[in-house]
Structure 1
Amino acid sequence: MADERNPSVDTSNSAAARDHHTTEHGYVTAHDPCVDRTLLLPGMHVDRFVIQQEVGRGGFGIVYKALDPNLGRHVAIKVPRADFLTTPTDRLYREAKIVATLEHEGIVRVYEAGTDSETSFIVSQLCEGPDLHTWMLDRANRLSFVQAAELIAQLADALSYAHRHGVLHRDVKPGNVLLFPLATPTSDDEPLPGHALPFQPRLTDFGLASMQSSDWAITRNSVAIGTPLYMAPECFARGDQTPGEPADIYGLGAVLFELLIGKPPVRGEHFGQLLHSITNEVREYPHQLDARVPIDLSIICNKCLRKDAEDRYASAGDLRDDLRRFLQGQPIDARVPTWRDRFAKWCQQPQRIRIAGASSFWFHLMLVPWLVGQLLLLGNMGAIPRDILVRSLIDAFWVSVVLHLPQVWLGYRLAKGSRWPFWPSAITSVLSLCVFAASAFSQQALFDYMYPSSVSKVATFSLLISAGSIVLGCYVLAIPAYLRSRRHAA
């Protein structure tokens, strides 16, 4: 179905209108003349269907209202944009094949797909109502908070159904939610009961769901697929990995946020600012921006918008169930993160591993010249006989080779992003700390003659023990981050 029914897209034939398009959020994008190659005019035929008018266009296709003369009904026909992929026909067929397997009241039905000459098309239900984005442009159309929760619960139920059948949407946004008029609408004088909606919301445009991994990587590198305002941070991550179910949950949370506050959760004057906001900033709770928003609903919305996919709802079904609990006045499962939760997330940040490696690198790198410098200074002062000085320098060489320099190398590799040195470096940090502690009190320790008294030796090794403890503490704090990186690698 339609990518979006966007009234701000000027479909007039004027030269000015065809040069640039202004999106609903004020961003200007150049109009690609390749799109016009797929332009169909009223009265033209696509297979047996008679084109009546264009009803929407987006990043992947153009949608027309058409008449099916065989059945005497109006349908929506989607044709691909010629500029999007090198094989738009294959992608369109994949989309039709995927959506045709989904039978749910919250998903727009696909009737058939085919090819007419060089034009491939999908035929689906025609929505006589607007999409959610167009509907929200009219400020008079403001849902109550419970109605907003009901709408997202219905969409979450549809997504849960799609996910159970192995289908991800990947482009959840208001423009891809069509509002079908109710079969038996209530009169204007009769208010809707409770949290009932004045329409039936249905998800459309599963174009990104049909995209294979190679298509996703190519498209992400060439254009901004989907709508950044509703895309999860992982959609912008490098690599060939495609977003999963949490990305759809994020999209629902972004739509819910806009229903509650009246604007998307991220803002920016250009794409770079949007990208920075999406990937780095922590989302505000809706009730912090509008005190009228119920706190429980605000917490549910914020849980959907967490930067880390693991912190969102485990499934769309869990989101639906929590919204149902809110609507029924029951306690919700979502919680505001405590300081323990925030500390645990802090420990899971990847930079904890790099910090641990860097601390080990610098500590042991500075320890080697400090040790050798002490010996040379004592020898120069005559405090150590020459033969003992030579033997001590040899001992210092072997201590550096066996203990400190390996730690320098392991710490360097860890700080540069390698993960395999983590446990070897952590274990040798423990051994180093044990050596320092034993040397502080043992009379047989290396370099015992360097200290005029046991007190001075204990004081010196106490500094080493303190520094070694800090290094070891960095490794302990980095364990959650290391384990998390291993889970993701698996």
Structure 2
Amino acid sequence: MILLTGYQIAEKIYSGVNTVIYRGIWQKHNLPVIVKTLKSEYPTLEEITRLRHEYKIRKNLRNIEDIVNCYRIETNQNGVALTLEDFGGLALSKFLTATKINLKQFLEIAVQLVHSLGKIHQNQIIHKDIKPHNIIINPETYRVKITDFSISSRLVRENATPSYPSLLEGTLAYISPEQTGRMNRAVDYRSDFYSLGVTFYEMLTGELPFNAIDPLELVHCHIARIAPSPRSLKPEIPEAISAIVMKLLAKTAEDRYQSADGLRFDLETCLAQLQGSGNISDFSVGNADRAGQLLIPQKLYGRETEVAALLAAFDRISGVEPPQPPLSKLTGVGFFLAKPSKNIQG
């Protein structure tokens, strides 16, 4: 138990790798709070900086009611602590373990989450760690809020670098393909949609899209394997909802939803049909979706001739016969030749 001046700590509610979370009372205002502090008695500069970074991110989002508000940053022995809003909630991961939600409850929670995520993106912030552990739900009112901005970014787009799975930012089971650093693609706000898709998948089926023991295998699954649709696991899930989740889980960001508004429109359509007739009819998802931000596509279109010319020039200089047939399809901004350690950027 920690001793934080001005706060009465009641209980420990979570202990992670680097942080510990407590529930308590801010005595000055007699206000219930959540206290997030560092686990180590002598935290590293990196750990302290990450918590201070989270405080700065949260300060820019104080006007959004759909995220867990941050009151203050306090000095705690050799480190720091954040005091956060306590609205009587618990992590969605714990809630789903104890409670089986129906389709209507799923849609009501999903609509709230998408609305919250849209507000975050409007403030030019990428969350980068959307998962049930970072979603707080009040079990009585079903009000949900997003929390944990420790690795969030204010950048509209950033480049992820290849690294060992244990060193990647984010949670491996929910991480987007481009966030692994192995896609030669920048990370933008649409990365959060993929992680949200994994969360929806788990809420609907009780399972993750990919289950792998080896971390590198899990990275490969996110990049290259197509998950079975939720409907294939549970036939009672309507096709429209299954299609929404699979669109979120698209490997390339251009194939996912491009805005929270478009995603929320489809979810609200499903909810309205369910409330009106008790059924959800099939419809083409994504028709109301429009780009939420101006982003240059990370695909190359109509460059087969130029790519073939580049490959032929490379092979001519290196004295190798040109490959047959020529490359006909390109899926990213850059591509890797079959020859080791040679890389041409498109």
TM > 0.5 fold call: yes
The answer on whether the counterparts of 1:297 and 1:326 sit within 8 Å (CA) in structure 2 is: yes
Aligned to 1:129: 89
The answer on whether the counterparts of 1:178 and 1:202 sit within 8 Å (CA) in structure 2 is: yes
Match of 1:321 among 265, 270, 278: 265
Matched, 1:147 2:105: yes
How far the C-alpha of 1:112 sits from its partner, in A, is 1.1
Percent sequence identity over aligned pairs: 23
Matched, 1:334 2:251: no
How far the C-alpha of 1:273 sits from its partner, in A, is 2.6
SS at match of 1:334: coil
Matches within 5 A, 1:65-104: 65-82=23-40, 86-102=45-61, 103-104=63-64
How far the C-alpha of 1:218 sits from its partner, in A, is 9.9
> How many residues are matched?
315
How far the C-alpha of 1:158 sits from its partner, in A, is 0.4
Matched, 1:205 2:148: yes
Aligned to 2:294: none
Matched, 1:259 2:203: yes
SS at match of 1:328: helix
More helix by share: 1
Aligned to 1:311: 255
Supply the AA of the counterpart residue of 1:258. E
- Runs of 5+ unmatched residues, structure 2: 274-280, 288-298, 336-344
Structure whose CA Rg is larger:
1
The 1:319–1:69 alpha-carbon spacing in structure 2 relative to 1, beyond 3 Å, is: same
How far the C-alpha of 1:210 sits from its partner, in A, is 5.2
Aligned to 2:74: 114
CA-to-aligned-CA distance 1:316-368 (integer Å, 9 cap, x gap):
23212221122223845338xxxxxxxxxxx979xx8999579x76xxxxxxx
Whole-angstrom distance in 1 between the partners of 2:268 and 2:55: 31
Aligned to 1:62: 20
Supply the AA of the counterpart residue of 1:200. R
The 1:60–1:325 alpha-carbon spacing in structure 2 relative to 1, beyond 3 Å, is: farther
Whole-angstrom distance in 2 between the partners of 1:240 and 1:121: 36
How far the C-alpha of 1:219 sits from its partner, in A, is 8.4
SS at match of 1:115: strand
Match of 2:121 among 163, 174, 179: 163
The TM-score, its normalising length taken from structure 1, stands at 0.56
SS at match of 1:45: coil
CA-to-aligned-CA distance 1:403-442 (integer Å, 9 cap, x gap):
xx88633896997xxxxxxxxxxxxxxxxxxxxxxxxxxx
Whole-angstrom distance in 1 between the partners of 2:117 and 2:79: 30
Supply the AA of the counterpart residue of 2:256. R
SS at match of 2:8: strand
Match of 1:409 among 295, 311, 317: 317
- Runs of 5+ unmatched residues, structure 1: 1-40, 183-197, 336-346, 362-404, 416-469
More strand by share: 2
How far the C-alpha of 1:214 sits from its partner, in A, is 11
The answer on whether the counterparts of 2:130 and 2:174 sit within 8 Å (CA) in structure 1 is: yes
CA-to-aligned-CA distance 1:33-80 (integer Å, 9 cap, x gap):
xxxxxxxx1xx4213212222111334421111221111122111113
RMSD: 3.9
The answer on whether the counterparts of 1:91 and 1:211 sit within 8 Å (CA) in structure 2 is: no
How far the C-alpha of 1:278 sits from its partner, in A, is 1.6
